[in-house]
Structure 1
Amino acid sequence: MRTGIAELPLHGGKVPAWLLSRLEKLSKILVTLIVEEYGTLGLLERISDPVYFQAINNIIGMDWDSSGSTTVTTAIIKRVLSREELGVRACGGKGVHSREAPDEIRKVSEEFGLDASSFVRTSRLVAKIDNTALQSGYQLYHHVFFVDEEGNWAVVQQGMNTVDKMARRYHWLSTKVSDFTRNPHSGIQGRREPFALNTIADDSQEFRKLSVELIKDEPEKLPTLFAEANRLLEGYVPLTSYVPYDPHKVRELREKFRRLGKPSLNKDVWLQLREVNIDSFSDLLLLKNVGPATIRGLALVAELVYEVQPSWRDPVTHPPVDPFKFAYAVGGKDGVPFPIDRKQYDELLSILSELMSRVKGDAKIMKRLAALTRSWAPPPEEKIPT
């Protein structure tokens, strides 16, 4: 067990009702304090930071290293924001609830007087990027879109790898995105994989350009080009070719696609590509039938036919420093570092509520409280996987 690292194994089960009610009360206090001190953008900045988000999860009592910490924490924050007038809302959620994001975004946009169409497009695009443009063996199953009344937004979404039984969390912030298809994340938390099909990396720019050109200029040639590249992948050695045949490259690609899934360019996608006009890689990703297999197919053609290689570097920002110390506030749902005590949790809620009512607007008192434990670190032997 590496200390200082928060991996996210897939956890099942549910949070008991007695704990859910307390999670919501403490989350309300935390979110309110953050908005009062830093504003709505300050809240979005912290939600979009993998370490800060993990600290919120730890401090309210969720497991410090569980995939469920993402889904539960975002669901609780969404509920708090829906009941409080803080100038921020959250849309979407886990599984089927992720597909409710567009309708919820439209309602929130109407409430805040914002243009819903751009936010709906952004929500769709960031989901397509983390599930299709960036492939590391994780399938997206959770998507939450946060937006404030000023039009700032943040996204927290998570993918799962059912083979390794691990999860990966993706964070986005509007103020850090200048190009959706070029290193757009504010952070990615998860275990670094040996490789990933990373078409949003800086050094994938030529691949993105080639993909758009192929679809705009010569979509009729794509099935032929894909068939040729696929024969090379399967081991066919051409007698003559205008592209040098590299057996080592072919073996490497075969292993990568064995892990990520087969490349494909099916008839429906090909017919669609012939009939649409696209101007950018973002437009390509937003097409309905373009999924991970299609992008793998384009990567295969690019590398074996045109010798244009997309990036295969996993863009996990870093194995994040894990704020395990915050799990000592109330304990952990599964008993790490110690079981949650309902009476102590209620006493904490009572003290914080009283402090907030007495010192409203005076952040200095809360900062002095925070300073008491700033230099404290938990015993490493107490950090055990849940």
Structure 2
Amino acid sequence: MARRTGSADLPLHGGRVPAWLGQRMSTLGAIICQAIVHHYSRDEFLRRLSHPFWFQSFGAVMGMDWHSSGITTSVIGALKRGLAPLESELGIHVCGGRGKQSRRTPDELRNLGDRIGFDGVALTRASRLVAKVDSAAVQDGFDLYLHGFIVTDDGHWTVVQQGMNGDKRQARRYHWHSDDVADFVDAPHSAIDGPAQGEIINLTDKRATRSRLAQLDLLADHGPDRVADHYAELVARPTAQPLLPHLVMPAHHDVRSSDVFVRRLHGTLAAAAERGPVDFPDLLLTPGVGARTVQSLAMVAEVVHGAPYRFQDPARFSLAHGGKDRHPNPVPIKVYDETIRVLKSAVHKAKLGRDEELGALRRLDHQARELERTADGPSLEAFIAREREVSPLVGGRSVFGWEEDVAGQRKVDRG
């Protein structure tokens, strides 16, 4: 049976992902996928994608806006580009996407079925049913505009799709997972993410079974004249709603202390300081960059190994590689590229049976969890201020340009 893992409020953001970030997101997303498949399985990667808290953190650690609905489009797009050359090796395929790409999903699935051997027709039906359920059976005021279908060679799949309410500048993301779906019209969602919109018609809810059957009985036995009377009776008997985790993504763009579990940040920083010199001696060669990279690696390691409960503060993962809009700080290109280099080397060696570097990342994550109980460190505001101060030295870049140029222009303006 499907389980709901919660909901989240996602503000709509305009703009596009710049090419310099999109390319890096594709590379880093693919490497993280490979690491998860290596340590766990490709089915585990699908399971992670179906968890809304992890999905938001995954996008944040790749440098996207930590709280916005744009993470959905950018993550699906990055995975589609990054995993395409690895399809044969990993057995993971990303179909669909935004707008016109979503409508190509059936053709992509049928072609994959012919090439790989799974039942493309059945998967195409699943894709269409998922879209129909979230657009017709769940009437919550959001129009679907994105449909991402991630499928493995053995026919297991996860769907991430998103709807928009333009009037309220809000989005809702829907997660599905094939291993959890027993019935497409009986509580099929892993989660429904997005802002509450008052009364929502959800005929897929477990509690709506009687309603679905009653609709057929009403039309068959009583005709349309009795429908209004029975509806009034149902409304008069409200059903208690279950309590589920609810991730509220605020409207403010900056990262604040209230958005982050600071003790976990302190644990990450302490682990990077202690394990870095031990596990990554060859990395600490570039002054001002190497040690900072270990901090990013510690956050990436948590995305690879962390349990679901650790992703309740996606903002914390934006501290790994900043954000394209300078929140919490510009993307440190030198750090980002060094992170990719280290992870790529670790994954490559792991394929050859040498797990030392991937093992070091695992130890880094374990140490962070141990130290967060006792570690102390700078306030979040002080940490972000320091990141912005050194941003020109680590290749800070945002949609506004290179931080060195932006900082120089500010000096001119002040003068």
Q: When the two structures are superposed, what TM-score results if normalisation uses the length of structure 2? A: 0.66
Instruction: Go from structure 1 to structure 2 and tell me whether the alpha carbon gap of 1:380 and 1:183 turns closer, same or farther (over 3 Å shift).
Output: farther
- How far apart in 2 are the matches of 1:315 and 1:122? 27
Please state if 1:32 is matched with 2:34.
Answer: yes
- How far apart in 2 are the matches of 1:315 and 1:78? 35
1:272 is matched with none
From 364, 370, 380, give the equivalent of 1:369: 364
Q: CA deviation at 1:194?
A: 2.9
Identity of aligned residues (%): 40
Please state if 1:8 is matched with 2:3.
Answer: no
Please list every run of 5 or more consecutive structure 1 residues that lacks an aligned counterpart in the other structure: 230-242, 244-301
Question: Comparing both structures, which one devotes a greater share of its residues to helix?
Answer: 2
Q: CA deviation at 1:204?
A: 1.2
Does the aligned pair in 2 maintain the 1:332–1:340 contact within 8 Å?
Answer: yes
Alignment of 1:1-386 (within 5 A): 7-84=9-86, 85=88, 86-214=90-218, 217=220, 221-222=223-224, 229=228, 243=229, 303-304=231-232, 307-309=233-235, 317-320=244-247, 321-360=312-351, 361=353, 362=355, 363-374=358-369, 375=372
Q: Deviations over 1:219-242 (max 9, x none)?
A: 9x44x667xx4xxxxxxxxxxxxx
Q: Deviations over 1:228-281 (max 9, x none)?
A: x4xxxxxxxxxxxxx5xxxxxxxxxxxxxxxxxxxxxxxxxxxxxxxxxxxxxx
Q: CA deviation at 1:366?
A: 2.4
Does the aligned pair in 1 maintain the 2:34–2:347 contact within 8 Å?
Answer: no
Q: Deviations over 1:286-312 (max 9, x none)?
A: xxxxxxxxxxxxxxxx514xx345978
Q: Secondary structure at the match of 1:146?
A: strand
Query: Matched residue pairs, number?
Result: 301
Q: CA deviation at 1:359?
A: 4.4
Q: When the two structures are superposed, what TM-score results if normalisation uses the length of structure 1? A: 0.71
**What is the alpha-carbon root mean square deviation over aligned residues?**
2.7
- How far apart in 2 are the matches of 1:102 and 1:157? 15
Instruction: Go from structure 1 to structure 2 and tell me whether the alpha carbon gap of 1:121 and 1:6 turns closer, same or farther (over 3 Å shift).
Output: closer
Does the aligned pair in 2 maintain the 1:189–1:318 contact within 8 Å?
Answer: no
Q: Which residue identity is paired with 2:183? A: D
Q: Which residue identity is paired with 1:303? A: Y
Does the aligned pair in 2 maintain the 1:190–1:316 contact within 8 Å?
Answer: no
Instruction: Go from structure 1 to structure 2 and tell me whether the alpha carbon gap of 1:308 and 1:6 turns closer, same or farther (over 3 Å shift).
Output: closer
Q: CA deviation at 1:191?
A: 2.1
Please list every run of 5 or more consecutive structure 2 residues that lacks an aligned counterpart in the other structure: 1-6, 248-311, 385-415
Q: Secondary structure at the match of 1:329?
A: helix
